[in-house]
A and B are shown apart, each in its own frame.
Chain A
């Protein structure tokens, strides 16, 4: 990260507008079971609703609605894996009005139904301290040094992904694991 705050004399107007959009985004990702209108969030960013949607999409690459739906699905995934409440209760907890809509949106975005996702993600044996991989990936930076054979296996599983690994030293998997567990 680049700490450059001290080199800029004062925050520009554009700067504070983007920060307000950032706060609006935080609001969209909170209290997901509550009703939140576009007017409310737009007011937080001090913009008219239509201006707010345009500005929000330009900064975050998604509409406010898409961000809220994504946040709801992320919470749903977490609840499905880490909690035992029925799918219907998960649906309500993350703010979907109907189970049908929840299942439809979940399947379209995640690729499986909520119950299938739960079944596949949960394992019979829980290792203390381990986070579910479906929710929390490991440290990606260290993956550059996975053994090439492992990458090829992933590649084969993925299908037609073009691969051009730089020629580099390959560290034994056991050594990677020890570093990964300490650093990630």
Chain B
């Protein structure tokens, strides 16, 4: 197979804050964390329950174009990306207990259940439970 999907990214308004949220609240593990100069870092996280070779980069949205794009998605209630969960109700309760703000509670959307929440870094994120 020629093409592989190994890397995804979300833009974040503060990389320190993002690393804390994505590891301590969402439960991902830290992959890379490398100072690349000028106050920016190459930070990735990966799912401890997923494939360790697939990483999510937490990209700084320092470019005004990035800020505009991120703010527009947020205003339109469009998640920046989505993560699969086994049990959406359990995950919803766990995240709520940690203070996460949901814009959409677990809701049936066709064959999947979805929920949308704020990541405290300027994005909305979606979790979804596929049909069993």
Chain A residues near B1: list those with CB within 8 A: none
Assign chain A's interface to a size class.
35 or more
Check B74 against A15 for contact (C-beta < 8 Å).
no
A14 within 8 A of B: yes
Select from chain A the residue with minimum beta-carbon distance to B69.
A1
Chain B residues near A12: list those with CB within 8 A: 103-105
Select from chain A the residue with minimum beta-carbon distance to B10.
A1
A141 within 8 A of B: yes
Q: A136-B62, A143-B42 are in contact. Are A163 and B7 (CB under 8 A)?
A: no
Q: A5-B76, A140-B42 are in contact. Are A18 and B103 (CB under 8 A)?
A: yes
CB distance from B20 to the nearest CB of A (A): 9
Check A161 against B33 for contact (C-beta < 8 Å).
yes
Give per-residue flags for A144-184: 1 if the beta carbon is below 8 A from chain B beta carbons, else 0: 10000001001101100111111000000000000000000
Give complex CA distance A165, B109 in Å: 38
Q: Which residues does B use to contact A, with CB under 8 Å?
A: 6-7, 9, 13-14, 17, 21, 31-40, 42, 44, 53, 55, 57, 59-60, 62-63, 71, 73-82, 99-105, 107, 109-110, 114, 116, 118, 120-122, 124, 126
Chain A residues near B38: list those with CB within 8 A: 133-134, 137
CB distance from B58 to the nearest CB of A (A): 8
Query: A4-B116, A22-B71 are known contacts; what are 5 more A-B pairs with Cβ within 8 Å?
Result: A5-B76, A18-B118, A60-B13, A134-B38, A137-B38
Q: A137-B62, A141-B59, A163-B32 are in contact. Are A61 and B121 (CB under 8 A)?
A: yes
Chain A residues near B71: list those with CB within 8 A: 22, 25-26
Among A60, A137, A141, point to the contact of B36 (Cβ < 8 A): A137
A2 within 8 A of B: yes
Q: A58-B99, A141-B9, A144-B7 are in contact. Are A8 and B57 (CB under 8 A)?
A: no
CB distance from A116 to the nearest CB of B (A): 14
Select from chain B the residue with minimum beta-carbon distance to A162.
B33
Most chain A Cβ neighbours within 10 Å, of B14, B36, B75, B121: B36
CB distance from B104 to the nearest CB of A (A): 6
Chain B residues near A99: list those with CB within 8 A: none
Most chain A Cβ neighbours within 10 Å, of B39, B53, B81, B102: B39
Chain B residues near A163: list those with CB within 8 A: 32, 34
Give complex CA distance A61, B63 in Å: 20
Q: A3-B78, A19-B75, A61-B120 are in contact. Are A154 and B34 (CB under 8 A)?
A: yes
Question: Would you list the 7 A-B pairs with minimal beta carbon distance, nearest first?
Answer: A61-B120, A158-B35, A7-B109, A140-B59, A59-B118, A15-B103, A137-B40
Select from chain B the residue with minimum beta-carbon distance to A157.
B35
Chain A residues near B104: list those with CB within 8 A: 8, 12, 14-15
